[in-house]
Amino acid sequence: MFLGDRADENDNFNLPLYSLPIEVTMTTLANTPDLSNLWMPFTANRQFKEHPRMLAKAKGMYYTTVDGQQILDATAGLWCVNAGHGREEIVEAISRQTAEMDYAPSFQIGHQDSFRAASAVAKMMPAGMDRIFFTNSGSESVDTSLKMALAYHRARGEGQRTRLIGRERGYHGVGFGGISVGGISPNRRTFSGALLPAVDHLPHTHDLSKNAYSRGQPAWGEHFADELERIVALHDPSTIAAVIVEPLAGSTGVLLPPKGYLEKLRAITEKYGILLIFDEVITAFGRLGAATASELLGVTPDLMTLAKGISNAAVPAGAVAVKREIHDTILAAAATGIEFFHGYTYSAHPLATAAMLATLGIYERENLFQRAADMAPAFEVAAHKLQGAPHVIDVRNMGLVAGIELTPRPDAPGARAAEVFKKCFDKGIMVRYTGDIIAISPPLIIEESQIQEIFHTIGEVLKTVA
């Protein structure tokens, strides 16, 4: 699809209508929308609108484009459709709910499924992390968790603990809190004057001279956690509220946690009364072959941010799971009335709770987290076959996540991976890229033959890329 139905001076289309084959104009123009009004997120808008890639349908492991091309979804949408697309139980639950009660406010009034959904989420969390606050996205979950950390310390009479520690290359969504603790420079620099003032960053743990071609957790890199001691000494622990990290950083290009690293962060934060927040927006709900990265790695944070797989992305939804003690402290400190001045019009939206209940039911009935764990070895072998392919300088993996790092073109970082992305799409495989790293994170229902197809196609495409 290369056309809008209206061409005016704002459009970027160069193709005049009369240059198109008659069958294309006849079959597609009637339904083709004007592309000029929509400002697309995290997108090269001008390039996209010159060559749009339009999805129309999704079922199981596949998308279908408006032109009818089948696309194997190697990224679970944006790391979120863990149970595969178009699951009937979820579709039915949402349809039933919208007919029965389309919306209910969550401030000072409730609906029963919001409590059921909280219990269902709590059941999948590490022991003790069973107080659940609903949001609508990962970004909202992150900002909510940071505010909870500040509220907790204030409730304990330590309101001076306001400093937050993130990590270089961390991605925590796009709220002001999230970009402040996040460590991806393009996401920060435009807004640098308006970021939260009391924030430090740990170093990231990625060093290909030491941990290239890691299968699972790299053996090297635990010592990066010692940097937290340095930051603590610099500011004094009594000023620090929380440390937030992704157990496995996805959006920044699949950075794996070195062995012992998260354990050390846990020990240091505990020693100084600092809260530890795991941003599990992509790692929770089976991505690594367990309910959470925390469960898999045996390190329990104080707060955990959730979104994406929580509703299989069928309705926007997110949550923060909180240790009971944190919740109870905040509630106990409030005299009467509202204890935490925070929430969203759509917290626990009835369609979201319907989607969450149906989704979590599927995960449990189909034992999908175990399925991910069972498929992980074949996934690992297939991914690492790309070692030695043109431009590849690293392959790393954990659970059903793989990162394939390419040497950047000297004059155009990111361009090589962008070309791989486009060529894979043309060959019917949807991958993602960040900089020059290709990220693979398929739905947990993937079959072994589809795993082979994904990595084989990437290999073939790499041979054609300069």
CA R_g for the chain: 23
When the beta carbons of 217 and 251 are compared against ligand PLP, the nearer one is 251
When the beta carbons of 14 and 190 are compared against ligand PLP, the nearer one is 190
When the beta carbons of 281 and 404 are compared against ligand PLP, the nearer one is 281
How far is Cα 453 from Cα 466, in angstroms, rounded to an integer? 22
Shortest separation between residue 250's beta carbon and ligand PLP, angstroms = 5
When the beta carbons of 284 and 354 are compared against ligand PLP, the nearer one is 284
What are the strands of the beta sheet with 303-306, ordered from one edge? 131-135, 318-322, 303-306, 275-279, 240-245, 163-167, 199-202
Query: What tokens appear for 107 in the block?
Result: 């401030």
Q: DSSP string spanning 67-120? A: T--EEEETTHHHHT-TT-BT-HHHHHHHHHHHHH-S----SS---HHHHHHHHH
How far is Cα 413 from Cα 431, in angstroms, rounded to an integer? 18
Shortest separation between residue 307's beta carbon and ligand PLP, angstroms = 5
How far is Cα 389 from Cα 405, in angstroms, rounded to an integer? 11
Shortest separation between residue 263's beta carbon and ligand PLP, angstroms = 20
Shortest separation between residue 117's beta carbon and ligand PLP, angstroms = 17
List contacts with ligand PLP (CB under 6 A): 137-139, 142, 171-173, 246, 250-251, 279, 281-282, 307
Q: DSSP string spanning 372-403? A: HHHHHHHHHHHHHTTTTSTTEEEEEEETTEEE
Instruction: Indicate the residue whose CB is closest to ligand PLP.
Output: 138
How far is Cα 112 from Cα 255, in angstroms, rounded to an integer? 39
When the beta carbons of 294 and 457 are compared against ligand PLP, the nearer one is 294
When the beta carbons of 163 and 287 are compared against ligand PLP, the nearer one is 287
Shortest separation between residue 414's beta carbon and ligand PLP, angstroms = 18
When the beta carbons of 232 and 320 are compared against ligand PLP, the nearer one is 320
Shortest separation between residue 79's beta carbon and ligand PLP, angstroms = 6
What count of residues does the chain have? 466
Instruction: Give the 3-state secondary structure of residue 150.
Output: helix
Shortest separation between residue 89's beta carbon and ligand PLP, angstroms = 23
